[in-house]
Structure 1
Amino acid sequence: MIPWVQLDSARTPDGGQELRLKRRGTEFSIMLGTNELMNSRLSGSEEALASLSCEKIAGRKQPKILIGGLGMGFTLRAALAELGGDASITVAELVPAVVAWARGPMAEIFNGCLDDPRVTVREIDVGHIIRSDISAWDAILLDVDNGPEGIVHKGNDALYGAAGLGAARAALKPGGVLAVWSQGPHSGFARRLKQAGFAVEEVNTRANGKRGARHVIWIATNGK
């Protein structure tokens, strides 16, 4: 069996943990300690995050999409495939090394999508963008952790509390969508979304097509 080789590492924003980029043949993995955050062979649920969201805003002119977390670009590429030429997508990535990996060792996986004229990449906390914008976005897609709690960056916890969800709702246009990816179920998060004023759907999806681990996506629609 081909062994894993570590290509690079980077500290999390609080400096307390280490992200590691590994490669085995054509397969890539991003690890946080012993926890695999993402793998280049498993893209189904991240793609579903984009496709489910884009279905909700289909037909809108010049849609504006905010993606929190670049990862391996699965959500971004799926959104580009769903949206027309008049769309604009902003990707907020807090760890600069992840952007460097996308343009360097993992460039083949990204297949030039970062150079699409519809795409803007900002090395910034997605929460900062959300709090700064009012009624600006047709959809906000969050995949910045393994679910609605901050294991990569404890500051991400603020995205999923009452204040963070309220800010996300304020940042969305009427009928806009907040979509949140999770590695697994989270008791009470759907209730928290409803308390923030969203209409909520909880969708179970697979990591790889019809196979692989079961992941959860919350699709929360702003009815204001």
Structure 2
Amino acid sequence: MAVITPLEDPEVLAKWQHFDWTPENRKKADAAIAKYPAGRQHSAVLPLLDLAQRQVGAKEGTQGWLPIPVLEFVGREIDMPYVRVLEVATFYTMFNLQPVGRFHVQVCGTTPCMLRGSDELFAACKKRGLTKGHTTEDGLFTLSEVECLGACANAPMVQINDDNYEDLTAKTMGAILDALAKGETPKPGPQVERQTSCPEGGATTLKKMAERNYDYRPQWTDTAGEGA
């Protein structure tokens, strides 16, 4: 017996067949399309897919996904064949082609994160009932393994919805998941004492630059003020 995926489920297709922008999102969609000259509207497919996924998510109380009727709708908006829209949606992991939970936990498994302990992050997820490719029964979490998320210097890291969490350990990963489950908002970014990808523990040189836009150049010239 063939398995019916959410994309092919008749009830899902019927639910979303009349998808249309909310008034607010209509303005955003029109603004995105207007950024491109006539005949180049296909270039707006990425922002429109993102906007559509967020609208679906807002309706379902999740991170959102893209049912077939929604993909078709986006195609009609920019006169783009459905198969071309699908090609884009299947290329980028930011787009979900099946329902996800309220929090989409994307753990980077690429080499830097793997070497720095991404397996421990997966173990922390598993301890709380998260398994790769599945959504928890309460609909709260969906766990995915993804390729590089661009924060290699702060590995290992995860992306949860729109936020990155970096410099993780099994303990801090667990604390973030527990906080989200309780309705709290954990602090995104590095989970150690560092600003973005600066050295851990704070600046070790040019410390005044961390306080303000301090000009060190006069100190590096023979004549005070030269080159300032």
Q: Fold conserved (TM > 0.5)?
A: no
| Structure (1 or 2) with the larger CA radius of gyration | 2
Of Structure 1 and Structure 2, the greater strand share is in: 1
Normalized against structure 2, the TM-score is what? 0.30
Normalized against structure 1, the TM-score is what? 0.30
